[in-house]
C-alpha cells in the first residue's frame, strides 16, 4: 500500500514538474505578453495542483493536507488576479468607430 502511494506521489510530482518546465518554456519562447501569461498560469495552476495532489498522501491528515490545498487555492487566486491585471495593462484600448483614421 505504501509503495503504491509512493509511486502515486512520484508520478504526480513528476507530471507537475513537466508542466512547470513546459510553462517556463512558453514564458521564454511565446511571442507576446498574453500568450506568455497563458503559459505561465497553466504551469502554475496545473503544475502546482499536481505537485500538491502528489504530496497529499505523504502529509498528516487532515491538517497538513488542508494546508497544502489552501496553498494551491491561494496560488490559483493570486495567479488569476495577476493574469487579469497584467492582461488589462497590455491589452490595446478597444477600437471605437472606424479606427485607423483617428488623428
Partner 1 sequence: MSMSLGLVADSFLALLILGLAVWTIAVRGTYAAVVGFVAYGLLVALIWVRLAAVDVALTEAALGSGLMGLLLLRAVACLPPDAPAPASGRVGRVALRVVVGVLCAGLTAVLAAVVLQLPEPAPSLAAAAAQALPTTGLGNPVTGVLIAYRAIDTLLEAVVLVLALIGLWSLAADGAWGGRPGALRTREPGAALVLLAQLLPPVGILVGIHLFWTGANHPGGAFQGGAVLAAMWAIVLVAGLAAAPRVDGRRLRLVLVVGPALFFAIGLAGIWWADAFLGYPADWAKPLILVIEAALTLSIAAALGLLLAGPPASEPGPGGQA
| Spatial contact of 42 and 25, defined as CB atoms under 8 Å apart | no
Output 88 or 103, the one with its CB closest to partner 1: 88
C-beta neighbour count of 44 within 10 angstroms: 21
Question: Judged by CB, which is closer to partner 1: 5, or 77?
Answer: 77
Compute the least distance from the CB of residue 101 to partner 1, in Å. 27
- Distance (Å, whole) CA 44 – CA 98: 40
Q: Is the dihedral of CA 98, 99, 100, 103 positive or negative?
A: positive
Q: Are 48 and 75 in contact (CB under 8 A)?
A: yes
CB of 45 to partner 1, least distance (A): 15
For partner 1, the closer of residues 89 and 98 by Cβ is 89
Closest separation in Å from C-beta 81 to partner 1? 4
List residues near partner 1 by CB under 8 A.
Answer: 70, 74, 77-78, 80-81, 84-85, 88
Amino acid at each position: 500500500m505504501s509503495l503504491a502511494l509512493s509511486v502515486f506521489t512520484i508520478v504526480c510530482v513528476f507530471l507537475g514538474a513537466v508542466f512547470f518546465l513546459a510553462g517556463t518554456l512558453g514564458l521564454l519562447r511565446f511571442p507576446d505578453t498574453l500568450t506568455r501569461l497563458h503559459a505561465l498560469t497553466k504551469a502554475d495552476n496545473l503544475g502546482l495542483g499536481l505537485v500538491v495532489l502528489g504530496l497529499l498522501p505523504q502529509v498528516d491528515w487532515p491538517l497538513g493536507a488542508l494546508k497544502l490545498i489552501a496553498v494551491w487555492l491561494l496560488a490559483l487566486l493570486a495567479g488569476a488576479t495577476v493574469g487579469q491585471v497584467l492582461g488589462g495593462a497590455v491589452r490595446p484600448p478597444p477600437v471605437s468607430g472606424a479606427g485607423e483614421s483617428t488623428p
